[in-house]
Structure 1
Amino acid sequence: MSENRSFFKDTVERILTDTLDKTDIDAAEERRLPAGLYDALIENGITLMLVSEEQGGIGASVADAAVILRAAGAAAAPGPLLETMLGQALLAQAGLDPADGLLSLAFVDGLALPGEGETAWTDAILYDVVWPEAVGHVLIVARTDDGARLIVTSASDWTVAPGTDAAGEPRDTLTAASIAVMSKRLHDYDALLRTAAILRAAQMLGAIDWSFRRSVEYTSERKQFGREIGKFQAIQQMLAELADHVLASAGITDAAAEGLNATLIAAARSRLADAADATITIAHQVHGAIGFSLEYALNARTRRLMAWRDDFGSVPYWRRTLAQGFAGLSREAFWPAVSDAGLPTAA
């Protein structure tokens, strides 16, 4: 890990330790954000990580941002951190100034949207928008025939129909008879979706890794029949299986975030889906009934895994995308394509 990346990681972990506790995580289910956490993140420039220095940001890479989001996922930090970090970067790419406060971000493909140059959107509707009542703007990334458009709306102009995800955080439906919009052209929609997908993957990896480590610790604390349950062979086998998922997911997610290769990102999201399912199953099996209680911290991670696994592309979407990269290859071409799927070539 580079010196800068280590600094980012240490900074965010310190902020999370100082400003986030179980009470804050639970409060998210009552639609309350941890204000102290986000004040500190904004003050330290974390929400502008992906904005260039010339535009007032830090100019970090996606891999740098992934380290931060992995720490946030491990801490079960609620709120639109990913959406704000990436949303600020998209505003900068569109030639706009950074927005004050937090942002919601939605990717849409096939929804009826205002045309380029239009300043109003009639009969507007958006689904599954995160934390719209806690942000200043809702940003929409829309697929177009020649790339993508960024549509900027004021969050207060929407009518909110409350909803929740598996973790109890807001995922609302937004409607408006007519809403003012600003539209700017962006580049490749699929590339932007892949960036969002790998950043969400980093959050998932953080939650998976935390759940694994806590499960190992718990098995050395909990005793049954006079000895720690971690000494039972069945428990050891489950933890070994979960360790395999953690290591495989970490390797492919880190590589995908570093290179932003389309094949690796699709593979990372596909692999993380299996790891998330295994984490939810094994961690709760190891913990027994206590893991399901709201008072215990495990469910804050596993429920977020349920909420995140289909964000920015569902599991079937990423598996189809991965398969399409190899479909039609000859027997002779298949293995070279698999073994060189986006990995850097040695000098």
Structure 2
Amino acid sequence: MSENRAFFRETVEQILADTLDQSRIEASERRMLPAALYKALEENGVTRMLVPEGKGGIGADIGDSFAILRAMGAAAAPGPIVETMLGNKLLAEAGLEPADGLIALAFADDGAAVLHAVPWGGGVDHVLAVTPSGISLSASASWEMEAALDAADEPRDTLRGSLGAIVALDTSATLRTAAILRAGQMLGAIEWTLARSIDYAGERKQFGREISKFQVIQQMLAELAAQLLASAGIAEAAADAGRETLIAAARSRLGDAADAAIGIGHQVHGAMGFSKEYALNHRTRRLMAWRDDFGSVQFWRRRLAGGFVTCSREEFWPAIADAGNRRAA
């Protein structure tokens, strides 16, 4: 990790420690965002991480943002941080000023009148619609909202209205950028789940000894650690390279790791893990929601496979070996 990247992550970890606790995480299930957290993130330039310095941002890259989002995921920080960071990036690329406040991001067709399952769609300042032709920014208050929730009981609202003027912009890479940024949050939540499961196994006693001494528990934790390490390697590479094939592989691999974290984390914790007052559920339920954000696991596996289906027998292995340089179909 570079010095700048380590500094970014340490800064955000300190902000999270100062502004986010269990009660504020739980408040998000009542559609209440942690105001102190987002005020501090905005003051420290995090919401404009991906905006060039000349346009009032930090000028960081996707890999830097990925590191920050990893910390946010580990802390189960609620709210549209990915959407706001990416939204401001798109606004800057379109020659517009970054937005003040928080942004909800929606992928839609040109002329769409309904935006489906928009994270925090009715609880932010702006809605940014990403279409094949470009982007359209509007006030969230201009949309009629039908409230809904995801697996973490955070808002996934349906918005009805009409898009404003569309500013022309090449948005072909936007979905994969959103996908790898969300992957950072997923990776952080998986890391937290493994670390807490290891600690809990060392604390919980059964039949006169810590459950961490039972072979079956050791095997489950080893399996989760392997899933984490494999996912981290490919996700970090994908964030730095930005190539479609790597991002497709990372999201596919993280889908498996998320399933392992949810299952193993709760098995190790037993009944304690299913208590809503216990911190584990805030990570595992977010993993249930995040694993299908910006393309489901199946979607990304099809994208990954699509890059190789036309290969001949002689071409297949060289193509796999050079996957990081290939463009997904």
Alignment match, 1:163: 148
Cα deviation for residue 266 of structure 1 reads 0.2
2:33 paired residue number:
33
Instruction: Kindly state the Cα deviation for residue 133 of structure 1 after the two structures are TM-superposed.
Output: 2.9
Unaligned runs of 5+ in 1: 115-120
1:184 is aligned to 167
CA positional deviation for 1:343: 6.0
- Is the aligned partner of 1:73 residue 2:73? yes
In structure 1, give the amino acid aligned to 2:324: G
* Structure 1 position 244, deviation (Å): 0.4
Give the counterpart letter for 2:148 in structure 1: G
Match of 2:280 among 298, 303, 326: 298
Pair 1:221 & 2:203 matched: yes
Offset of 1:188 from its aligned partner? 4.2
User: Aligned pair 1:100/2:100, yes or no?
Assistant: yes
TM-score computed with the length of structure 1 as normaliser: 0.92
The structure whose residues are more often strand, as a share, is: 1
1:149 equivalent to 2:138? Answer no
State percent identity of aligned pairs.
Answer: 63
Q: Which residue of 2 aligns with 1:3?
A: 3
**1:43-86 Cα distance to aligned partner (Å, 9 max, x none):** 00000000000000000000000001110000000000000000
| SS in structure 2 at match of 1:134 | coil
Distance 1:27 1:182 in 2: 35
Q: 1:308 deviation in Å?
A: 0.5
1:129 paired residue among 103, 118, 121: 118
Spell out the pairing of 1:75-90 with structure 2 (5 A cutoff): 75-90=75-90
The secondary structure found in structure 2 opposite 1:133 is: coil
| Distance in 2 of aligned mates of 1:159 and 1:293 | 35
Distance 2:3 2:106 in 1: 33
Give, in whole Å, the separation in 2 of the partners of 1:154 and 1:101: 11
Q: Secondary structure at the match of 1:138?
A: strand
Q: Return the offset for 1:132.
A: 2.4
Q: Which amino acid aligns with 1:137?
A: H
Once the two structures are TM-superposed, the CA of residue 182 in structure 1 deviates from its matched residue by 2.7
Could you tell me which residue of structure 1 aligns to residue 129 of structure 2?
140
Q: Could you say which residue in structure 1 is the equivalent of 2:227?
A: 245
Distance in 2 of aligned mates of 1:250 and 1:107: 27
Matched residue SS, 2:122: helix
Match for 1:309: what amino acid?
A: R
What SS does the aligned partner of 1:132 have?
coil
Paired residue secondary structure (2:309): coil
C-alpha distance in structure 1 between counterparts of 2:3 and 2:51, whole Å: 19
Alpha carbon RMSD of aligned pairs, Å? 1.2
- Provide the rounded CA distance (Å) in 1 between the counterparts of 2:122 and 2:107: 18
Q: Deviations over 1:75-131 (max 9, x none)?
A: 0000000000000000001110011100000112xx4x33xxxxxx7xx21111111
In 2, Cα distance between equivalents of 1:188 and 1:138 = 16
Q: Which runs of 5+ in 2 are unaligned?
A: none
Letter in 2 for 1:141: V
Tell me if structure 1 keeps the 8 A contact 2:27–2:33: yes
Paired amino acid for 1:132: G
**Equivalent residues in 2 for 1:228-239, closer than 5 Å:** 228-239=210-221
Query: Given residue 189 of structure 2, which amino acid in structure 1 is its aligned partner?
Result: A
Deviation of residue 226 (structure 1)? 0.5
CA–CA distance in structure 2, aligned partners of residues 249 and 202 of structure 1: 10
Question: Which deviates more from structure 2 when the two are superposed, residues 5-14 or residues 322-331?
Answer: 322-331
Runs of 4+ in 1 over 3 A off after TM superposition: none
3-state secondary structure, aligned to 1:182:
coil
* Cα distance in 2 for residues equivalent to 1:213 and 1:301: 12
**CA–CA separation in structure 2 for the residues paired with 1:86 and 1:182:** 19
- Residue type at the aligned position of 2:6: S
- Seen in structure 2, the aligned counterparts of structure 1 residues 97 and 105 have a Cα distance that, compared at 3 Å, is same
| Deviation for aligned residue 1:175 | 1.1
Give the residue type in structure 2 aligned to 1:304: R
SS in 2 for 1:160: strand
Q: Is the 8 A contact 2:19 2:36 kept in 1?
A: yes
Contact 1:153/1:182 (8 A) holds in 2: no
- Quick check: 1:70–1:206 contact (8 Å CA) kept in 2? yes
SS at 1:128 equivalent: strand
Q: Could you state the TM-score of these two structures normalised by the residue count of structure 2?
A: 0.97
> How far has the Cα of 1:316 moved from its partner?
1.0
Q: Report deviation, 1:136.
A: 1.4
Per the TM alignment, residue 180 of structure 1 is displaced from its structure 2 partner at its CA by 6.1
